[in-house]
Amino acid sequence: MAQFFFHLWRGGQLTPDEVGVALSSLEAAKIRAERIASSLLDRNEAAPTCLLGWDIEVTDAAGETFLVTPVGDGGPAAKRDPTA
């Protein structure tokens, strides 16, 4: 099993996942990222417009990005500052 991390980007600001989750495959990580995005949408009455620019970035323990799942409509945020 591989360790995947699900970082939340909010309009260029990073909220890192410092714990991660052990999953069997990248496909399992994709499904989990989609569920996280769906959960965020379900919790917010003004969604998806107020969540524009929010993304779930899936990385491994070395920080390599495997995929980015948009939370709101509009696709992944255009610019991210990894030092934020």
pLDDT in tens, 62-73: 999 999 988 866
Quote the domain boundaries for residue 44. Answer: 2-70
In a domain, 77, yes or no: no
Contacts of 36 (CB under 8 A, 6+ apart): 6, 56, 69
- What is the structure's pLDDT at 12? 82
Note whether residue 55 is domain-resident.
Answer: yes
pTM above 0.85, yes or no: no
Give domain status of residue 79, yes or no.
no
Q: Is residue 84 part of a domain?
A: no
Residue 59 lies in a domain: yes
pLDDT band at 37 (very low <50, low <70, confident <90, very high): confident
Residues 6+ apart with CB under 8 A from 62: none
Q: How confident is the model at residue 5 (pLDDT cuts 50, 70, 90)?
A: very high
Count of structural domains within the chain: 1
Closest CA to 74 of 9, 22, 2, 13: 9
How many Cβ atoms are within 10 Å of 31's Cβ, its own excluded? 12
